[in-house]
Structure 1
């Protein structure tokens, strides 16, 4: 917001309005007294928050409940060898793991158990076991270098470090490897859990819902990653808010919307890493809550054709991922060879959906429901939903407030802003984290006294939905004009010969900054910088048209599907030029 912009009008708060879309019968069935998604306001860590009444007391209770309600439903399916694991089997295995962690390694309540490994049976079971003991799981990024792993280990001081595959080799190259903390291969833990007399259930450890459950590191596109501490309440809330939002979207969708086959188990690929909110919470909350089958793809980089093959072979009912995944799948030359008829929903997050992608989804998968979520690690992925009416009427937005969530846009002094004003996005609700591990200064900066999370994003509220303008560090100020890269990126990816695009600011001696576009042409296309600028000028003001255009074969993405813009920026140190 420019300094000379007057703040006038009534401050706006976004709140969940999905109840209004339901008739009285459906509302009573979903959210009425005694219903699965009944809600009320309670005190949460000293601040009022709307919560779900019928919620599990902690995360391990979700697995125990699933093992009782749906014991024979498939929890995990492994693409590499065809194995499957039911919820009852997962419960028994987690109990055995917990016994080994407690007896052999002395893990107890409050201890940290760090894991650096690809997604897999042993990885996920270790998370369940540690949580059942009241320990705090630390999700170490499996692609981190030894130095980065040392940062995460040094910050959280785990009692035990678990690893497998390439991350295990990097763990053994860390300073921590010589520091006395056991580094145990997950395969060894799994073998040790083959007990002659395994326990009948998870350990009876008292766990409060606001106890720490996990340390999830921020994506680290700037500076050292911070360890966001998520509670048991946060993870349980993730499943419930998503369940209610999805149910309302399915019940109020337009005519012709795809429906799940009657009696068929819902299924999705577990593509997001378990060290990230979107992977861990789906596996720990959504799957046991709603008997969702998770298919683990072959190890290695994500592959569009492999995802299409799994869609056919495992009769997937939903796709989850980031926009880049969907672009690759929908434009794959062999798309039509694979049966995608059972896919009824697409869920995304981490980036807004370009209008061209939405049009492509409707063309290739007519009637599929699309939901794009806006949230972050610090809010356990909760924030806003874009689906249904908002998707039709405001496709460039990130949607309305998710269930139990409140959203405000505030100025830098913390004052809520009226409709249309751009400011810092603030979020409150049951998904807001406890704080940053051993970083009270950063925690105080991120959380207001009444537990609103101050995000690092700019946005504006219009017609009841949130528009994401840019991350604060991405804002380009050219000659006093604020330029939000996302608007330019939207325009560029609609060019028929552009496969991907990113916009950054580069220094200018007079203007301060100029706009630079980094463009990935579609395979076989020939583009010039002049053509890119001409395309942008067809829809944007002249000061937003890229002054510089660079062509690349690919953009640098991190593990959560976000472009690492700092890798595109020119070096600031003259010695590096």
Structure 2
């Protein structure tokens, strides 16, 4: 229901709602604490570790479906059985110890969370990687983190195999979903050998939970992100950070009801929410904002081999999906699909997204076509373990250009280039502090010192805050564009273009795209007397980059690219060439 049709909306201010939810006796109660010597607000009732979330969920929601993929259905109890069994294999057969890195690289199969939680249970650092990466990119990720065991699907293995000789620390690879494969390498095993296929996990022995030697401040995950150097950085998160992200999201969702003047609803034991997973588990959003919170809430995750809006429609009807989204592209494709009215989509109660620029008209389109669904948008980054702000329900309808207001556990400030806080309403660089922040970049003290400062993450986003603390993103200080939720770092693409012998100068910019948010565009100046076609240059880039990073359009300039007095390319001028 639009906010202007709700009597007396808002019933209370953001500050009042945050205070009520953080108060004594609330499930979302906050207490004063210290993390790495920094004072901050902590969630009193947050489970101390990720594996404990799984343990609690498997007992509370044992017979519910946790993940559905095509004809495979895995209950919470079956998931727990598979995780405990695989954790034992990792520890006893492969010698994985606390602090070792275990990579998880595959599509959104049911085996993905099993590998992730198994590594987490024995105190290893789960290290997801982008399943779209090339072999060269995977080699870097595996080498940089010093991965000891990689759990992959057959397609990923083929990319890794050629690079394995350059990975002395990678002792073993476990392949999921290829029980009949012939690999002829003693370092390679098949997951099904140990736990069987997904539909067989329920037949595994009943769970005997091992002692879990994992605490809130132990390292939990390395999620790869990138900076303006173009080389991925590994954002290292603790168990506290991962779990706190979930509580941030729950606080913002509960706040929507208080703003309406309604009590926060109690969970109904007879109802199960279902999320259509349309984004990869290897993203902070997929893992931290969907996979793990679904355990805590007893939700069902419905996965697809590959996102396809036309194929998603019958799945939404059959599985009674209640939440869809991920990035704006997903929402647009569902809203505008010509077969949308052929299916019963009445179960949808929330359409939310983040991770890419979105047109303000998107929220009005959602309310028009799904009047009973709560639209939502948010802001977060890998370094904040996903959710730092959410803008949902009536607040989003009224502020469609905002990414929402933070919960009380999260502090935001806008700073000038010297780190001085700016007055409310002014545009500057966004800094974010809270228990969900990562602690550092893996083996990158230089980048850590630049980004992680006394509990704050210096985000590289240009933004402003309004009088109630709602966040408005203005631009990105870091040279990056986001294509359908995938970060593309311009210098990485530019470097690939520079490797072509005909290229003298190159600049990469985002081309606005209604569905994807942005696409990759490039402007190139060739060396005198040299020639290369757009198709040839795109093919050259494709040999060095994942497909989503390859420019969709390359423009050629005969004159030098425009630069300022400091020699920096004027990218706003170049963006205009694509409009």
**What TM-score does the superposition give when structure 1 sets the normalisation length?**
0.76
Partner of residue 100, structure 1: 89
Instruction: Name which of 345, 354, 360 aligns with 1:349.
Output: 354
Deviation (angstroms), 1:458: 0.5
Tell me the residue number matched to 1:47. Answer: 38
Deviation at 1:368, TM superposition (A): 1.4
From 245, 248, 256, the counterpart of 1:249: 256
Determine whether 1:168 maps to 2:157.
yes
Q: Secondary structure at the match of 2:443?
A: coil
Q: Which residue of 2 aligns with 1:110?
A: 99
Matching of residue 71 in structure 1 with residue 59 in structure 2 = no
Shift of 1:392: 3.3
Tell me if structure 1 keeps the 8 A contact 2:104–2:128.
yes
* Residue in 1 that maps onto 2:231: 224
Aligned to 1:148: 137
Cα pair 1:113 1:130 within 8 Å, conserved: yes
CA deviation string 1:128-164 (max 9, x = no partner) = 1110000001111101111101111111111111210
Q: Which moved more, 1:194-203 or 1:409-418?
A: 194-203
Q: 1:68 to 1:459 in 2, by over 3 A?
A: same
Q: What residue number does 1:280 align with? A: 287
Q: Is the 8 A contact 2:139 2:166 kept in 1?
A: no
Distance between the aligned counterparts of 2:357 and 2:68, measured in 1?
30
Which one of the candidate residues 438, 452, 455 is aligned to 2:456? 452
Q: Distance in 1 between matches of 2:511 and 2:192?
A: 46
Q: Which residue of the partner structure matches residue 415 of structure 2?
A: 410
1:84 aligns to what SS in structure 2?
A: strand
Q: 1:411-560 counterparts in 2 under 5 A?
A: 411-448=416-453, 450-464=454-468, 465-473=470-478, 518=511
Partner of 2:366: 361
- Distance of aligned partners of 1:402 and 1:33 in 2 relative to their CA distance in 1, 3 Å threshold: closer
Q: Contact 1:51–1:430 at 8 Å: present in 2 too?
A: yes
Residue 85 in structure 1 maps to residue 74 in structure 2 = yes
Q: 1: distance between equivalents of 2:556 and 2:363?
A: 36
Q: How has the CA–CA distance of structure 1 residues 516 and 425 changed in structure 2, closer, same or farther, with 3 Å as cutoff? A: closer
TM-score scaled to structure 2, two decimals? 0.75
- CA distance, structure 2, for counterparts of residue 433 and residue 386 of structure 1: 23
Question: Distance between the aligned counterparts of 2:341 and 2:167, measured in 1?
Answer: 53
Greater CA drift, 513-522 or 240-249? 513-522
Deviation at 1:235, TM superposition (A): 1.1
Tell me, which stretches of 5 or more residues in structure 1 are unaligned?
1-15, 476-484, 490-501, 505-512, 523-549, 551-555, 557-561
Q: How many pairs were matched up?
A: 482
- CA deviation after TM superposition for structure 1 residue 189, in Å: 2.0
Provide the C-alpha distance between the structure 1 equivalents of 2:381 and 2:451, rounded to a whole number of angstroms.
12
Counterpart secondary structure, 1:119: coil
3-state DSSP of counterpart to 1:402: coil
Q: How far is the alpha carbon of 1:84 from its aligned partner?
A: 1.7
SS of residue in 1 equivalent to 2:386: coil
> What SS does structure 2 have at the residue aligned with 1:400?
coil
Tell me by how many angstroms 1:439 deviates. Answer: 0.3
Report the equivalent of 2:247: 240
Distance 1:206 1:341 in 2: 44
Distance 1:235 1:520, change over 3 A: closer
Per the alignment, in what secondary structure is the counterpart of residue 93 of structure 2? helix
Asked if residue 291 in structure 1 is aligned to residue 295 in structure 2, the reply is no
Please state how far the C-alpha of 1:231 moved relative to its aligned partner. 1.0
8 A Cα contact 1:211 1:232, kept in partner: yes
Give yes or no for contact 2:364–2:397 (8 Å, CA) kept in 1: no
Question: Partner residue of 1:20?
Answer: 16
CA RMSD of aligned residues (A): 3.7
Matches within 5 A, 1:136-215: 136-176=125-165, 179=168, 181-187=171-177, 188-193=190-195, 198=205, 200-215=207-222
- The answer to whether the 8 A contact 2:80-2:207 is kept is no
Q: Secondary structure at the match of 1:167?
A: helix
Offset of residue 393 of structure 1: 3.1
Consecutive unaligned residues of structure 2, counting only runs of 5 or more, are 1-11, 178-189, 491-505, 516-533, 535-540, 542-546, 562-579
Q: 1:473 to 1:314 in 2, by over 3 A?
A: same
Once the two structures are superposed, residues 19-63 of structure 1 have per-residue CA deviations (whole angstroms, 9 ceiling, x without a partner) of: 6248x9xx4xx5543332111121111111111101111000001
- Match of residue 499 from structure 2: none
Counterpart residue number, 2:112: 123
Tell me, in whole angstroms, the C-alpha distance in 1 between the residues paired with 2:556 and 2:430.
29
